[in-house]
Structure 1
Amino acid sequence: MVSIAVPLLNMKLHRLPRHPPLSSLGNDFRSTTSQGVSELKLCGEEFVTKLLDRRWTLLNPNTTIHQIKLSTMLHGNGLLGNISFSSDTHPSLGHGTADNCNQDPSFYVVRDDLLHPLVNGNKARKLDGLLPLVEDHSVTDVVSCGGCQSAHAAAVAVSCAERGLKSHLLLRGERPEILTGYNLISTLYGNVKYVPRSLYAKREEMLTRHADLVAGNSGSVVWFNDLLETSFTTQTSGKPNLVQIDAHMNADSHPRKVAIINEGAADAVGLLGMIRLVQYLSQNHLFGKERTLKIVVDAGTGTTAVGLGLGALCLGLSWEVTGVMLADTVDGYRKKEKCLISDFKHCTAFHHIDHVLKGMDGGIVHWVERDHPRKFGNVKKGEVEACQQIAQQTGILVDPIYTLAAWELATLLSQEEAKGGAKVVMLHTGGTLGMFGLAQRYKSYFHAVKDGLLNFDYLDGVGFEQKTNLPLLGICELIHRQLGLKMG
């Protein structure tokens, strides 16, 4: 490995005002609280314990953690410059390991992309605390919405079908000629209806109207935040997971109870699964409670980032959560953050959170722009090849829309923090199925990957092993192209 002395990515980090870690707040802040930081931390831990004492969709919060190590290539090119990656699938974690690590840049990847073959990791986390509420309140149908290639819509469709529920999905735009990716999964598992963009713009009205139509004259409609609020008086723990709705509940003669999930599961109830994940990761044999972390996650609606930040806040962790903005402005994300926290506080009656938030005018998430901003959903030249390089070198697939943005930032931060700074952790939210939809839309970009990746490192002694699965003739052709020669 060759140490990287200078940053090799030109990530535009806008250092927006944000909160300091709870442990670094000064005496002035401590004196303004009625209980003191230690009591607030204890109160937060007790609150989290109570909050998480409920039924969950996932049998446990466990996830896989890999460590990505950076080195340099002599002749690198493309979006990632001359950076080469390697993956340690069994990294040393736990208390004290940070002091023993070498100083070469590296970051950890929380592999939530492995939680379910068809459901994105962050979607599985959002639905983790949500679906048991569906079962507890005898919901028969779920209505939600998303874009044509919505990972959220596919997650709702699959998860509902696994539990004997009917899902009704309103997708923005026109039906594609060929169904693929998340769109195909949504159609196979759920009931899809395409909605003109003009109507989709008024999401709440659109969802309410369709839910009323599904419920019929004898049915009822409820929003998920209302279910969360009542869950603190009706929810009990210890019941078996994945209980299917009785067959008679879905009979046409039985009144339907319809629950509405916001686009992207951007509800307060969607925060529960993220808080559960934070508690799991803060165990001593993993990242622990004392270590300083910089957590990076791509942000669509921003709910995942807010859930991580809220979990770290409640547990008193020195974890800085950074959300890479993909679909809105910083003002839009800050507004959404405040709305989610307000709804969470209202639903859970956790008013002690106000004492901590008084010292955090910048919010609980550090919002930053992507290296190469663009209209949401667009792919830029070189990004597909960057995803291919990462996949071939680490065995981890990222996508150009979401997780590549988080990978880029984690790469940059790991270089900045290499000399004894905070540990960098990327939450891999998934996105595998999205590649199929992108390949259909951006044919010219994906056409370039058919000949393999020019990353053979044959000049710096790394060799060819695990660099490609191409036949020998293809390797020779690519080597000659890279050397500027012609085949005889």
Structure 2
Amino acid sequence: MALPRPVPLSGRAGVPPLASTIDASHAALGSFLQQRHWLRRTADTPVQLVHVPTQRPGPAFTGQHAATAAAAAPAAPAARATGPAAAGWWLLRDDLLHPVLGGNKVRKLDGLLPELVQAGVTDVVTCGGVQSAHTAAVAVAAAELGLRSHLLIRGEAPQVPTGYQLVTRMYGTHVSYVTRAEYADRAAMFDRRVEQVRQQDAAAKVAVIAEGGGDAAALLGLVRLSHWLLGAASTCGVGSSSSGGGAPGEQDARQLLPEGLGSSRRLVTDVGALPHPQSTPYRILVDSGTGTTAIGLAIGIALLGLPWTVVGIMLAGEESYYRSQAQQLLSSFLQRYGPELYGIGRAEATGLGGARGGSSTVGASATAAAAEAGGAGEASAGALPLQWVPRLVPRRFGKVFPQDIATCKQVAQSHGIGLDPIYSLSAWELACWEAQQAAVAAAAAAPAAGAVDAGMGGVTATPVVMLHGGGALGLHGLAQRYPGAF
């Protein structure tokens, strides 16, 4: 299944980089980020190289589960030692950021909650389903910051609270269950609850956090992540610019792989950073519910001028919904932060801001135009390095096929990585599929050298990246629905 390749970022109108070079844009964005308060001390995340077999699925694996079967099957050591048997793709382990919450929810709250604290907010109100990772994250983070949380849960209280529902009830100040009819009008539902909180405490300063964290301030944590991904290469000693032949990042991957990996059964390797970030056209795959994570990453990439593309896997709506969401969030983000961002870029480019890492300057007219566009929030979301694609096996949101749980178990046992069938499995399947396609093509183009190298045990590095946002606690709820599948 060949997915269409997006237009390269360079030259896109509407969301210009902060400066004329990537280094200068990185410095300008760093200045902006340093002036803000954050939930997490750093933006780092573990980066790993994942190996999956390149052999195409046999006749038994056709239709619905072809990609799933190939994605889950561990590569046999003997096969990997004889040729281009395995594809390598990069995994950002945001699922390891917090012992309870995972990653993408922490990223959204990273810049959002500190803004509320600075504004004097005492109470936060938000909503979600019974197994909502978002409400659990808000409950935990609010408790850590001394805020009261009021959590509106769609549907009836479960007889046995497990997973994210258990966390929500443990950490949430007030947990209420609302009917589906009431939940359908979220604005009215929020207004009623905010008024109730104010009646109970006249001194309360209440803020509403949108369902799933879909707010301009929630994008800050993802912009911060994109900034870290660019800078991590030099910090970890991994190449920051392209060099030599072979697949993108392959040379650095070979240097970081432990000796004798070709005969090892280990299929995941810690690498520290994405190699050659300024020149490699990475495709970052993100499973998308509200789409906020994918949109935030794409904005950060655009501000830095990187040749990367975010691929959002649509799980909860049609493409029209995600495009509308991207436009709304981008406009809100630029209206709120655009003048400051492009103002810093202009100051550093003209030598007024102490720019770090870049000697080139931006022309006054270009920078002024960028600042004006950013301040007005006029940029088109269609100009973002962002592509929306369906799941490899489309289904209504929340639908789980019997093979999905089996695949998650196989991946856990062969790779030591936990997935959930509703969200992260969709990105894993697509990452495996794209990496396999790229590795086979590379082997056909250069069978004796280049992208495939015996020093890597027949592993072909590809520019495919998956952002693993967590979601493991969701398995607890699924185990109640499908006890026999586990």
By the TM > 0.5 criterion, same fold? yes
Against the structure 1 CA distance between its residues 359 and 166, is the aligned structure 2 distance closer, same or farther, given a 3 Å change threshold?
closer
The equivalent residue for 2:355 is none
Q: What do you get for the CA RMSD once the two structures are aligned? A: 3.0
Distance in structure 2 (CA, Å) of the matches to 1:448 and 1:59? 39
Equivalent residue in structure 2 for 1:293, among 282, 285, 298: 282
Measured after TM superposition, the shift of residue 135 of structure 1 is: 2.1
The equivalent residue for 2:50 is 68
The equivalent residue for 1:458 is none
* 1:96-122 Cα deviation digits (max 9, x unpaired): xxxxx9784111111110111111200
Decide whether the 8 Å contact of 2:327 with 2:380 is kept in 1: no
Distance in structure 1 (CA, Å) of the matches to 2:293 and 2:119? 25
Helix, strand or coil: the match of 2:151? Answer: strand
The equivalent residue for 1:370 is 391
Letter in 2 for 1:413: E
Decide whether the 8 Å contact of 1:296 with 1:321 is kept in 2: yes
Gaps of 5+ in 2: 77-82, 239-272, 343-369, 443-450, 452-460
TM-score by length of 1: 0.71
Distance in structure 2 (CA, Å) of the matches to 1:210 and 1:359? 34
Decide whether the 8 Å contact of 1:41 with 1:314 is kept in 2: no
Decide whether the 8 Å contact of 2:16 with 2:302 is kept in 1: no
Measured after TM superposition, the shift of residue 162 of structure 1 is: 1.6
Equivalent residue in structure 2 for 1:198, among 158, 181, 192: 181
Measured after TM superposition, the shift of residue 51 of structure 1 is: 2.7
Helix, strand or coil: the match of 2:137? Answer: helix
* 1:383-433 Cα deviation digits (max 9, x unpaired): 000000000001100000000000001011112222258511100000110
In the alignment, does 2:121 pair up with 1:139? yes
Distance in structure 2 (CA, Å) of the matches to 1:358 and 1:126? 22
Helix, strand or coil: the match of 1:216? Answer: helix
Measured after TM superposition, the shift of residue 68 of structure 1 is: 0.9
Helix, strand or coil: the match of 1:377? Answer: coil
Equivalent residue in structure 1 for 2:98, among 116, 125, 134: 116
Distance in structure 2 (CA, Å) of the matches to 1:36 and 1:311? 9
Distance in structure 2 (CA, Å) of the matches to 1:35 and 1:121? 28
Against the structure 1 CA distance between its residues 37 and 202, is the aligned structure 2 distance closer, same or farther, given a 3 Å change threshold?
closer
Residues 261-340 of structure 1: pairs in structure 2 closer than 5 A:
261-283=209-231, 284=233, 285=238, 286-287=273-274, 288-340=277-329
Decide whether the 8 Å contact of 1:306 with 1:364 is kept in 2: no
Distance in structure 2 (CA, Å) of the matches to 1:281 and 1:154? 27
The equivalent residue for 1:391 is 412
Distance in structure 1 (CA, Å) of the matches to 2:110 and 2:142? 12
Against the structure 1 CA distance between its residues 86 and 163, is the aligned structure 2 distance closer, same or farther, given a 3 Å change threshold?
farther
Distance in structure 2 (CA, Å) of the matches to 1:179 and 1:416? 42
Distance in structure 2 (CA, Å) of the matches to 1:155 and 1:42? 34
Distance in structure 1 (CA, Å) of the matches to 2:57 and 2:319? 38
Helix, strand or coil: the match of 2:20? Answer: helix
Decide whether the 8 Å contact of 1:12 with 1:371 is kept in 2: no
Measured after TM superposition, the shift of residue 360 of structure 1 is: 7.5
Letter in 1 for 2:178: V
Distance in structure 1 (CA, Å) of the matches to 2:20 and 2:163? 48
The equivalent residue for 1:404 is 425
Measured after TM superposition, the shift of residue 45 of structure 1 is: 3.8
The equivalent residue for 2:163 is 181
Distance in structure 1 (CA, Å) of the matches to 2:15 and 2:219? 27
Equivalent residue in structure 1 for 2:330, among 329, 335, 341: 341
The equivalent residue for 2:9 is 22
Equivalent residue in structure 2 for 1:259, among 207, 210, 235: 207
Distance in structure 2 (CA, Å) of the matches to 1:431 and 1:104? 27
Measured after TM superposition, the shift of residue 129 of structure 1 is: 0.7
* More displaced 10-residue stretch of structure 1: 210-219 or 297-306: 210-219
The equivalent residue for 2:438 is 417
Distance in structure 2 (CA, Å) of the matches to 1:308 and 1:349? 16
The equivalent residue for 1:466 is none
Measured after TM superposition, the shift of residue 259 of structure 1 is: 1.2
Distance in structure 1 (CA, Å) of the matches to 2:23 and 2:416? 40
Distance in structure 2 (CA, Å) of the matches to 1:34 and 1:310? 8
Decide whether the 8 Å contact of 2:126 with 2:135 is kept in 1: yes
Measured after TM superposition, the shift of residue 40 of structure 1 is: 7.8
Helix, strand or coil: the match of 1:179? Answer: coil
Helix, strand or coil: the match of 2:394? Answer: coil
In the alignment, does 2:207 pair up with 1:207? no
Equivalent residue in structure 2 for 1:125, among 107, 110, 123: 107
Decide whether the 8 Å contact of 1:68 with 1:85 is kept in 2: no
Letter in 2 for 1:426: M
TM-score by length of 2: 0.72
Against the structure 1 CA distance between its residues 321 and 103, is the aligned structure 2 distance closer, same or farther, given a 3 Å change threshold?
farther
Helix, strand or coil: the match of 2:327? Answer: helix
* 1:118-173 Cα deviation digits (max 9, x unpaired): 11200001111112122212211110001111000000001111222211000111
Helix, strand or coil: the match of 1:105? Answer: strand
Distance in structure 2 (CA, Å) of the matches to 1:42 and 1:341? 23
Equivalent residue in structure 2 for 1:436, among 476, 480, 483: 476
Helix, strand or coil: the match of 1:280? Answer: helix
Measured after TM superposition, the shift of residue 65 of structure 1 is: 1.2
Against the structure 1 CA distance between its residues 174 and 358, is the aligned structure 2 distance closer, same or farther, given a 3 Å change threshold?
closer
Measured after TM superposition, the shift of residue 218 of structure 1 is: 6.3
Distance in structure 1 (CA, Å) of the matches to 2:188 and 2:101? 27
Distance in structure 1 (CA, Å) of the matches to 2:469 and 2:229? 15
In the alignment, does 2:141 pair up with 1:159? yes
Against the structure 1 CA distance between its residues 329 and 105, is the aligned structure 2 distance closer, same or farther, given a 3 Å change threshold?
same
Overall identity of the aligned pairs, in %: 41
Letter in 2 for 1:81: A
Measured after TM superposition, the shift of residue 289 of structure 1 is: 2.2
Decide whether the 8 Å contact of 2:126 with 2:210 is kept in 1: yes
Against the structure 1 CA distance between its residues 315 and 34, is the aligned structure 2 distance closer, same or farther, given a 3 Å change threshold?
closer
Letter in 2 for 1:50: S
* 1:423-462 Cα deviation digits (max 9, x unpaired): 111000001100000111223xxx144xxxxxxxxxxxxx
Decide whether the 8 Å contact of 2:18 with 2:304 is kept in 1: no
Decide whether the 8 Å contact of 2:14 with 2:383 is kept in 1: no
Decide whether the 8 Å contact of 2:408 with 2:419 is kept in 1: yes
Letter in 1 for 2:160: I
The equivalent residue for 1:461 is none
The equivalent residue for 1:484 is none
Decide whether the 8 Å contact of 1:357 with 1:363 is kept in 2: no
Distance in structure 2 (CA, Å) of the matches to 1:120 and 1:202? 29
Distance in structure 1 (CA, Å) of the matches to 2:154 and 2:141? 21
Residues 32-43 of structure 1: pairs in structure 2 closer than 5 A:
39=20
